[in-house]
Amino acid sequence: MPASQVPQPKVHVLGVGGTAMSAVAGLFRQAGWDVRGSDQAAPYPPMGDLLAALGIPVLHPYAPENLDWGPDLVIVGNVIRRTNPEAVALLESGLPYLSFPQALRTHFFADRMPLVVTGTHGKTTTTSLIAHLLHAQGFDPSFLVGGVPLDFGINHRLGAGRHFVVEGDEYDTAFFDKGPKFLHYAPQAAIVNNVEFDHADIFADLDAVKQAFAKFAALVPRGAPLLVPDEDDNARDILATAEAIGTTFGIERGTWQARDVRWGGPGRARVTFTLHRMGRPVGTFASPLIGDHNLRNAVAALALVHEVDAATPGLAQALTTFRGIRKRQEIKGVAHGITVIDDFAHHPTAVRETIAAVRAAWPGARIIALFEVESNTSRRRVFQDAFARAFAGADAVLFCRPHDKPDNLPQDQRIDMDRLCADIVAQGTHAAMIPDIDDLATEAARMARPGDVVLGMSGRDFHGVHARVLARLSQDVPQQ
């Protein structure tokens, strides 16, 4: 059969509206497959917009007939339960299927060098940053990331270079594989940004989380680089059983260090620093990212690029041109001198660090934090006290009604919003729950004064609250 008549292979993606699932769908499309997907409902932005731009049809809701087009492969996302009607039909059909990480490794890693970024926090930023640094230096990398890097405008890329940069998630793989996704990625170099207790829906405690990361660390080959933060004892603990070359990074500590740190700088620079390795200067860099946590992310990214021999004289310039990621300290607009920011933070540590970073970048501004209790982490009472401490760094906190997921989370395990608001108020910060999203946006706009920052944090689109706040601010003149 002539090459032009060879049938195009077909792949169907269950749960295609998820960040990672939309990315793997895009990779298959870029590789020449006919791609379709399904989800419970039409995916919300930015993933819905991305899939539409890629021309990938999304069937919804889940139904057995979604598989009638006869795909050659079905990829199953970890949101899919065994009782899902489409999953039931899949198991009865005999169609070949893989989990998302299995598909990624099987179809895209064979002739590439996986560089895997893991950790409780900072994975998306660090992965995006490494991909950008490699691309800006001409290495033409592939990548898959749990967000949308603004430099690429898309959450995946299939390049011709040898590097494949992937965000390694410790969450479970699929209903038929309850192990962490990152155990499938065969890392040839890796970063563990930090290790904290998270994902209380699948991990019993911190020890269980550390055991998962230790299994990942054991996959990094002998002699390959494995970078961990010097100040994170949990992350350093996982090096004990690893055969890789354990290398530390940090701010003024570790093998790779940022020294002579100066916040503020020319142009887009938010911070300038000298990168040192084993006490010797490597170069001077300027990063456009705010916050100590993002400085550590930058040091980790620069260190890994050096460790895999992918640093050129253009590396410093590459860092200055990094534009960030959607929903990671993303400025959605400014109205009447009030800045509205969107961020993904949903864990107490991420909330605390994000507020601190905004505080440092906008000195003198009041921070009005808006928060959607929607993730498996934020909805659980295990983080009740930690959230109260994290939000105390803001000047005011407004919560919307907690997202009601169909997971039957017992009431006594759910975060107590009345108590959370009371504990925040007891620390001197105004806090209130405003169930209606329009009322919440109106209140945020009413409270804000010129020079203030409205910081909306959620792992979802937060019901479009950022646009709603900007619309209110454009209609009204805020108090002085």
Mean pLDDT score, 393-412: 83
- pLDDT score at 267: 65
Q: What Rg do the C-alpha atoms of the chain give, in angstroms? A: 22
- pLDDT score at 2: 52
Where residue 426 falls (left for φ over 0; alpha for ψ -120 to 50; beta otherwise) is alpha
Spatial neighbors of 469 by CB under 8 A, at least 6 apart, are 340, 370, 441, 444, 445, 448, 454, 456
pLDDT band of 228, cuts 50, 70, 90: very high
Per-residue pLDDT at 423 exceeds 90: yes
Q: Are strands 156-157 and 142-144 parallel, antiparallel or unpaired?
A: antiparallel
Domains (range + CATH), the chain: 3-100 (3.40.50.720), 109-320 (3.40.1190.10), 330-475 (3.90.190.20)
- 272-321 confidence digits (pLDDT tens): 999 999 999 999 999 999 999 999 999 999 999 999 999 999 999 999 99
- pLDDT score at 411: 82
Query: Which of 33, 9, 38, 34 lies closest to 21 in space, CA to CA?
Result: 38
Per-residue pLDDT at 33 exceeds 90: yes
Query: Which of 300, 364, 290, 356 lies closest to 329 in space, CA to CA?
Result: 290
Per-residue pLDDT at 403 exceeds 90: no
- 156-166 confidence digits (pLDDT tens): 999 999 999 99
Give the pair of three-digit tokens for residue 208. Answer: 């269980």
- pLDDT score at 380: 87
Average pLDDT, the chain: 93
Distance, in Å, from the CA atom of 148 to the CA atom of 298, rounded to the nearest integer, reads 18
- pLDDT score at 266: 62
pLDDT band of 152, cuts 50, 70, 90: very high
Distance, in Å, from the CA atom of 102 to the CA atom of 354, rounded to the nearest integer, reads 33
- 353-390 confidence digits (pLDDT tens): 999 999 999 999 999 999 999 888 888 888 999 999 99
Distance, in Å, from the CA atom of 229 to the CA atom of 16, rounded to the nearest integer, reads 34
Looking at the DSSP bridge assignments, the partners of residue 98 are 75
Distance, in Å, from the CA atom of 192 to the CA atom of 255, rounded to the nearest integer, reads 15
For the chain, the 3-state helix, strand and coil shares in percent, each to the nearest 5, are 35, 25, 40
Looking at the DSSP bridge assignments, the partners of residue 277 are 256, 280
Per-residue pLDDT at 350 exceeds 80: yes
CA distances from 34 to 30, 72, 95, 394, 431 (A): 10, 10, 16, 48, 50
**H or E element in which residue 231 lies:** none
- 436-475 confidence digits (pLDDT tens): 999 999 999 999 999 999 999 998 889 899 999 999 999 8
pLDDT band of 407, cuts 50, 70, 90: low
Spatial neighbors of 158 by CB under 8 A, at least 6 apart, are 27, 30, 31, 108, 142
Mean pLDDT score, 105-121: 96
Q: What angle do CA 182, 186, 188 make, to 5 degrees?
A: 115
- 49-104 confidence digits (pLDDT tens): 889 999 999 999 999 999 999 999 999 999 999 999 999 999 999 999 999 999 99
Per-residue pLDDT at 5 exceeds 90: no
